[in-house]
Structure 1
Amino acid sequence: MKFTKITHPLSRRAFLRGVGVTMALPWLESVPVWGDDKSKTASSEPPVRFACLFSGNGYHSKEWWAKGEGKNMELGKVLEPLLPVREKLLFLRGLYNQEALIGGIHSCQTGNLLTGAHLAPAGEIKSGVSCDQVLAERLKNQTKVPSLVLGCEPSIAAIHKNYSMIYSSHISWSSPTTPTPLELYPALAFDRLFRDEVGRADKSVLDAVTEDTRGLRNAVSKSDQRRLDEYLSSVREVEQRIEQAGKAGRLQGWRPTLAKPDVPRPADGIPQDIDQHMRLMCDILVLAFRTDTTRVCTLKLNNDHSSLRFPNLKVDYMIHHLLSHTDGADWLKVNQFFTQQLAYIATKLDQVQEGDRTLLDNSMILMMSSMMTGNHNNDQLPVVMVGRGGGQIKTGRTLDYQGKPNRKMCSLYLSLLDKAGVHLDSFGDSKERLAEI
């Protein structure tokens, strides 16, 4: 199809289309409407995006801290990768989930991280609807994909301390009894964003929309043409990297008896290398937000009680869970590797200009764990956020809620949902906002 010249505000979301493929447009000044057919007034204001990154088993006991403000903010060694974006960072101390203190470890501490709900014990599965899915439900008519739920480690099916390990493996919940399925495969996550018929995966997404792209270039401003070129280049780069994923042959964990596989490598598999896997998922998150294909994403970097290994860091003698109990130099390396993923996402988002702000300014990216350290203490949780929620959040600050009557995680979620345009009387176990956010 041909993309007709834009002479008036669009009354619908704008897409590039090809055979079996739909790509949402990035923010363009020549396309004045964001939203769906229900929009009554044209607005060129970019939307607010929300994401949550999770890493299990907490962080180094002495190196998760921040102090000061703005460009003078100091960060503990765990958070040092975030120094370049510290002026767009919010460090939150003292928040916690009351229901996560009821008993057990790992599963009981993780399953309600984004819900604040009471968890059912004895192998039963029951939590609550998570804040990301509440937001996704309210915004589902405004984007192609309501939410993207990504993971870098498969779910665990077992019982630990009287609680299902399903809780340890999921932070996003579509209903109280249904954890949102994780997408572990970068190629399939990519397909979900851009393809209408996954079976056509032998053809490049960009090749499929070439004709529509040509028509669009003739209809937008010079600056929008540059934005479009940058966006299409980033899509091509991720496509090429997905094709190369796993070909280097660096294995982790258990070493097989064969140096090379004796059967053809399966297509569209999970990359062998955890650093490559995480980086691809980070790129897909950025692409999803950049294209407005979704405005809601969770990225579970690992499980609580994780079995990941880290040969990329020269730390391959111990799995993540056991390493978390050591609190030594190798544990710090692993912690920094996880916060590097947030720093990478933040930097990429901050390079994309959307009107007077950047894509990072128009986002709220949380990173947290279900316990403060590997010793299972969760009377307060490690929480950091980058992004300004569409200019609504003052960043470059540390906020300390220790000793305050309102320090519930769900109070934070109520505040962030407000910034995304979803206003609730209550969520989880809270009816209050965090006034400072």
Structure 2
Amino acid sequence: MALPWLESQAVWGDESPARQTGSQAPTRMAILFSGCGFHKQEWWAKGEGPDMELGRVLHPLNDYRDRMVFIRGLYNAEALKGNIHSSQTGNLLSGAPLASGGTIRSGTSVDQLVAQEIGRQTKLPSLVLGCEKANPSVHKNYSMLYSSHISWSSPTTPTPLEVYPALAFDSLFRETASRGDKSVLDAVLEDARDFRRSVSSLDQQKLDEYLNSVREVEQRLDQAHQRGELQGWRPTLTKPNIARPQDGYPQDIVEHMRLMCDILVLAFQTDTTRVCTLKLNNDHGTLRFPHLGVDYMIHHLLSHNDTDDWLKVNQFFLEQVQYLAKRMDATQEGDRPLLDNSMLMLCSSMLNGHHDATQLPVVMLGGGGGRIKGGQNLDYLENSNRQMSRLYLSMMDKMGVHAKTFGDATEPLDQV
């Protein structure tokens, strides 16, 4: 089982002079996606700094305004060609042209380009998570695989999307993705006790907190399949008439998303990977939200009207970002929390459910290892050079990947 980052221990592979006394925590990149955009009237920001005023969709992030970068006006020119969900999502993280007619061709996404460059430094080059299964059908001449995947390992290969929390957890802590007869934590407790004696008192406390969090996730994974209500398309039966298979796919959407957020934090905390995407739902997705009292329509259809129910659903997705930010902020790494050592970006493939992709919703949290200034409200809408891929060039640079071009961009965003 991987260890968390400890200030009294050197990072694996660190050959610098600081090796004897520990080393700086690495920079991480996490990209979260919420399909179908947001409420047309409630995605906005005014002012700057800790007093920045936010539209109601973003209210869950009020406590993080001093570490937020709100970006308006960026877009992908290629996404405007099809004007449907698939054609606007398949190149969200690459800016590449998409093939139509059911053919699969996009571009290598920014997360995978970074993973290909720095992934050899960690157990996993990247972690690609989702909370809704992929849809392999075709919609209006474009493959729905474009709607189901934001991460692409190559122009013709969407990166496999892990929607099962147990398997995602296993990928961090097991050599093979099998459940086994013994918990991961029980298997390493004796070694953990021996190791604990060799680190500082502060690191001992951090190690204890980490082991407790692993135990909590293990226990929740065992229980997740038994809780909650059915996701997705609602069948004619009000509940299953056969026992649910033990396939590890949680039926409680809240627990599913929280588990994936916890696994993302564990992946970063253990330095198992430094790159992660988390697709909270599919674009053109079918999730339902009975826990919000919104159970009469699937997510995609809700997005077509800017109702109070749509706002509730939007805020639910932002609450997942808040939860993740809070977990990362509570994880201390040397003189900075994990959140300040990371770039956490939330995006969607359209501004709102009316398929407006002329500008994309983007909000970032975290300090990027001390290289991103928080409290910014940036507006590029009137800028002729407003490619979304400029942001990706900036993010790549902070991850130590220095590209001259990416997608349709030839220069980074100087302010990020």
Does the pair score TM above 0.5?
A: yes
Matches for 1:417-432 after TM superposition, within 5 Å: 417-432=396-411
Q: How high is the sequence identity, in percent, across the aligned residues?
A: 63
2:221 matched residue in structure 1: 242
Between the aligned partners of 1:40 and 1:424, the Cα distance in structure 2 is 28
Paired AA for residue 126 in structure 2: S
Between the aligned partners of 2:212 and 2:50, the Cα distance in structure 1 is 32
What secondary structure is seen at the aligned counterpart in 1 of 2:83?
coil
Between the aligned partners of 2:401 and 2:15, the Cα distance in structure 1 is 16
1:81 matched residue in structure 2: 60
Contact 1:54/1:299 (<8 A) preserved: yes
Match of 1:301 among 264, 280, 285: 280
Kindly indicate whether residue 93 of structure 2 is the aligned counterpart of residue 104 of structure 1: no
Between the aligned partners of 1:281 and 1:349, the Cα distance in structure 2 is 13
Between the aligned partners of 2:210 and 2:221, the Cα distance in structure 1 is 17
Structure 1 residues 70 and 363, CA, compared in 2 at 3 Å: closer, same or farther? Answer: same
Match of 2:349 among 344, 365, 370: 370
Kindly indicate whether residue 178 of structure 2 is the aligned counterpart of residue 199 of structure 1: yes
Structure 1 residues 56 and 45, CA, compared in 2 at 3 Å: closer, same or farther? Answer: same
Contact 1:406/1:432 (<8 A) preserved: no
What secondary structure is seen at the aligned counterpart in 2 of 1:302?
coil
Kindly indicate whether residue 14 of structure 2 is the aligned counterpart of residue 34 of structure 1: no
Residues 310-347 of structure 1: per-residue CA shift (max 9 Å, x gap): 11111000001110001100000000000111110001
Between the aligned partners of 1:314 and 1:412, the Cα distance in structure 2 is 37
So what's the TM-score if we normalise by structure 2?
A: 0.96
Paired AA for residue 331 in structure 1: W
Between the aligned partners of 1:258 and 1:96, the Cα distance in structure 2 is 42
Deviation at 1:228, TM superposition (A): 0.3
Deviation at 1:267, TM superposition (A): 2.7
Contact 1:70/1:87 (<8 A) preserved: yes
What secondary structure is seen at the aligned counterpart in 2 of 1:189?
helix
What secondary structure is seen at the aligned counterpart in 2 of 1:198?
coil
Deviation at 1:393, TM superposition (A): 0.5
Between the aligned partners of 2:179 and 2:379, the Cα distance in structure 1 is 51
Contact 1:93/1:382 (<8 A) preserved: yes
1:17 matched residue in structure 2: none
Deviates more, 1:157-166 or 1:234-243: 157-166
Matches for 1:8-407 after TM superposition, within 5 Å: 23-31=1-9, 33-36=10-13, 42=19, 44-248=23-227, 250-252=229-231, 254=234, 257=237, 262-263=242-243, 265-407=244-386
What secondary structure is seen at the aligned counterpart in 1 of 2:383?
coil
Deviation at 1:262, TM superposition (A): 4.0
Paired AA for residue 79 in structure 2: A
Between the aligned partners of 1:374 and 1:249, the Cα distance in structure 2 is 27
Between the aligned partners of 2:413 and 2:12, the Cα distance in structure 1 is 28
What secondary structure is seen at the aligned counterpart in 1 of 2:120?
coil
Structure 1 residues 38 and 123, CA, compared in 2 at 3 Å: closer, same or farther? Answer: farther
Between the aligned partners of 1:277 and 1:419, the Cα distance in structure 2 is 30
1:10 matched residue in structure 2: none
Structure 1 residues 311 and 436, CA, compared in 2 at 3 Å: closer, same or farther? Answer: same
Residues 346-389 of structure 1: per-residue CA shift (max 9 Å, x gap): 01100111111110000001101000010001100000010110
Structure 1 residues 260 and 412, CA, compared in 2 at 3 Å: closer, same or farther? Answer: closer
Between the aligned partners of 1:152 and 1:249, the Cα distance in structure 2 is 15
Deviation at 1:84, TM superposition (A): 1.2
Between the aligned partners of 1:419 and 1:234, the Cα distance in structure 2 is 29
What secondary structure is seen at the aligned counterpart in 2 of 1:367?
strand
So what's the TM-score if we normalise by structure 1?
A: 0.91
1:9 matched residue in structure 2: none
Kindly indicate whether residue 414 of structure 2 is the aligned counterpart of residue 435 of structure 1: yes
Paired AA for residue 229 in structure 2: R
Contact 2:228/2:253 (<8 A) preserved: no
Deviates more, 1:42-51 or 1:181-190: 42-51
Between the aligned partners of 1:427 and 1:334, the Cα distance in structure 2 is 33
Between the aligned partners of 2:84 and 2:163, the Cα distance in structure 1 is 25
What secondary structure is seen at the aligned counterpart in 2 of 1:157?
coil
Contact 2:101/2:142 (<8 A) preserved: yes
Deviation at 1:157, TM superposition (A): 1.7
Paired AA for residue 262 in structure 2: D
What secondary structure is seen at the aligned counterpart in 2 of 1:208?
helix
